[in-house]
Structure 1
Amino acid sequence: MICGVDEAGKGSVLGPMVVAAVGVRSADIFSDLGVKDSKQLAIQERERLFVLIKKRCRVATVVIPAEEIDSLRCEMTMNSCVARAHAEVIQKLAPRTAYVDACDVNPFRYAETVRSHLIVPCEIVSEHHADSTYPVVSAASIIAKVTRDREIAKLAKKYGTIGSGYPSDPVTIAYLSAYIDEHHSPPPIARRSWKTVSAMLAKKSQSNLSAFF
């Protein structure tokens, strides 16, 4: 068996990161599906393919919440955190070869990092833009993206309109700013170790201090 691995939400300031692996006997299983990198697909198409991929393939996912990411970043870099999660989903499927979307400028070094976290031997093929090159990685990107979108929807029901969770999303930044104004601290779903959060806290603290002068 081979598997493809990808993640969604690595750079998000709110919510979890989701890592997914899709295992198949042959990539031919995707020949009639037209899988692509999830970012190139409309929401409805991602949802449709999500169901079909789960029916046809073995799938493993890991959801890492914001609080856990902050904790892990006290011990390792974000790339190491992703590599460890990649290894975790690979081990769940135990393939002979795993194709991973490299989260390091050096894809060969990234392959070694993933391999260092594995208990069962597996050949790691690490490449940049693997989610566009290998259909099995494209499938994993779809599983990761849809799973994360559903996790964000659950958080939105509890915390209100939070947007996509990414720093580039004005809705997310507006939510984060308003929450800090009201509670004087970031929400539980925020990655406190992110510069987006620390910069916002520093700016608001400076603004509050200037009111006394």
Structure 2
Amino acid sequence: MLAPPRTVVRREAGLYALEQALQRRGFRHVAGADEAGRGACAGPLVAAAAILPEGKRGEIPGLADSKLLTAAARERVYEQVVAKALAWSVMIIPPTEVDARGLHVCNLAAMRRALASLTVRPDYVLTDGFPVDGLGAPGLAVWKGDRVAACVAAASVLAKVTRDRLMVELDSEFPLYGFAVHKGYITDDHTAALTKHGPCAEHRFSYVNVAAASGRGNRPPRARRPAEPAAAVPTLFDAVVSFDETASSDAAVTEPLLLPGAAEGTVGVASGGQPQPPASVVEDKAMEGEKR
């Protein structure tokens, strides 16, 4: 039997061309997943997933890679995404879990959780940059996917806007660091504040610059943290989150909720207290202090 003809999608074909090509092949619901906060040394890691409607209904004016949009433009696009998406979800990983499990492990787990929480089952999954296994659907890692595929760009906006809002909230709790301005990334101002005041409970103590500023650089991440227990990550969404003890450790179970003026979606907070996989996980040293 002859194999079907190869589909070639050129970058100049536009942001929606890859999804349309997959839909022509029978993959009706194409999900995109992306994250925000990988390179930050403070605040949560946030992953998001989104499925946009087929055809013109799924086109969102101004949609692009979140890093290419202004803050105001991201907010406008965010509202469009949550209003138009067939399904969307956001997962929030607190810095304590990043320290305990490692950045890359948490990144993969967060995207799995976000995709598993979609209320519409994806037929195909596009992820930004690197492959994510265990999705229960065929998938493709797309280099700079947030500039190539609309669903990945939509996920990048969801993740970035959610994280930025959380960092603004954290700024009121920890006003010495300027979180509302630099959002926890390693800027000169943030480095100066970290050196002067030392890290707070929302910093990632597994990052070399935070470990050095803590004065306990040769101790494991949990020992480097302040003696006071870290407060729960504040969220603008009154999400009720639970974890299914019988499910996979990477599958968060969350109650769906409505954001103000938004369509139905899912927001989850991944707690370090959830069931952990039996195999031990070492820190992802290669990612420490990574800039974005």
TM-score, normalised on structure 2? 0.59
SS at match of 1:4: strand
1:7-38: CA deviation from partner (whole Å, max 9, x where unpaired): 00011101011100011242643435131000
Residue 104 of structure 2 aligns with an amino acid whose one-letter code is N
C-alpha distance in 2, partners of 1:157/1:102?
33
Structure 1 unaligned spans of 5+: 104-109, 181-185, 206-213
Cα drift, residue 129 of structure 1: 0.2
C-alpha distance in 2, partners of 1:37/1:79?
21
Which of 179, 190, 193 is the aligned partner of 1:175?
193
Distance 1:204 1:84, change over 3 A: closer
Which of 61, 70, 84 is the aligned partner of 1:42?
70
The answer to whether structure 1 residue 101 and structure 2 residue 128 are counterparts is: yes
Aligned pairs, number: 183
Conserved? CA contact 1:2–1:98, under 8 Å: yes
Corresponding residue number in structure 1 for 2:115: 90
Cα drift, residue 195 of structure 1: 1.2
Structure 2 unaligned spans of 5+: 1-28, 219-292
C-alpha distance in 2, partners of 1:29/1:101?
23
Conserved? CA contact 2:123–2:138, under 8 Å: yes
Distance 1:64 1:203, change over 3 A: closer
Corresponding residue number in structure 1 for 2:52: 24
Distance 1:32 1:143, change over 3 A: closer
Higher share of residues assigned helix: 1
C-alpha distance in 1, partners of 2:55/2:125?
12
Q: Give the root-mean-square deviation of aligned CA atoms.
A: 2.0
Corresponding residue number in structure 1 for 2:144: 129
1:107-150: CA deviation from partner (whole Å, max 9, x where unpaired): xxx2xxx223x4xx211111110000001111111111000000
TM-score, normalised on structure 1? 0.79
Corresponding residue number in structure 2 for 1:211: none
Structure 2 counterparts to residues 169-208 of structure 1, below 5 A: 169-180=187-198, 186-201=199-214
Larger RCO, structures 1/2 (Cα 8 Å, 6+ apart): 1
